[in-house]
Amino acid sequence: MNYIKAGLALIFSGFLLFIILAIFGLVKLGLFLVFPFAISTSVLSIIPFLLIFIGFIMIFFYPFVNDYRYNDYTYYDQDEYNHEDSKNEYNKDDYKESSKKYSGFLLIGPVPIIFGNDRRLVYISIIIAVLIIIFYFIIILAHLL
């Protein structure tokens, strides 16, 4: 069974169950800044939380389970794998070493934490973070006035 599909199905069914419970009035849903929350006195409201939590756990542990289950060396016979025809010499000049470039930012409140290994991408992340902070303050000022 594919853990990612099962995890996504559990997360989707948890959110769907939240919506159904909200329609029947058993759960009140809200949003605090960007964090969703649910208020309920019913025991049924625990079920969607469990479905969503188990779905995230299944997706999180998928790479660890997948590495042990689908090991490349289990499909080959040892003698066949060490056969002379399968040993290919390669020239290092034929393969270009590629380095991954990344950059990103975390906004904790209005404070950005910016990281990356490429200067150009870090500058782009800084610009995006500043634009989001400006947009955030414009929305706050619009609500205050």
- Contacting residues for 18 by C-beta, under 8 A, at least 6 apart: 27, 29, 38, 48
Radius of gyration of the chain (CA): 25
- Contacting residues for 102 by C-beta, under 8 A, at least 6 apart: 116, 117, 118, 121
The average pLDDT across 86-102 equals 63
Q: How would you class 18 by CB atoms within 10 Å of its CB: exposed for 0-12, middle for 13-18, buried for 19 or more?
A: buried
Place 16 in a pLDDT band, splitting at 50, 70 and 90. Answer: very high
Q: What is the pLDDT of residue 109?
A: 77
Top-confidence residue, 62 or 20: 20
Same domain, 8 and 56: yes
Top-confidence residue, 51 or 43: 51
* Domain membership flag for residue 139: yes
pLDDT (tens digit per residue) in 68-78:
555 555 444 45
Q: What is the reported pTM?
A: 0.46
Q: What is the pLDDT of residue 41?
A: 83
Domain count, the chain: 2
Per-residue pLDDT for 46 more than 80? yes
Could you tell me the residue range of the domain that residue 115 belongs to?
A: 103-144
* Domain membership flag for residue 98: no
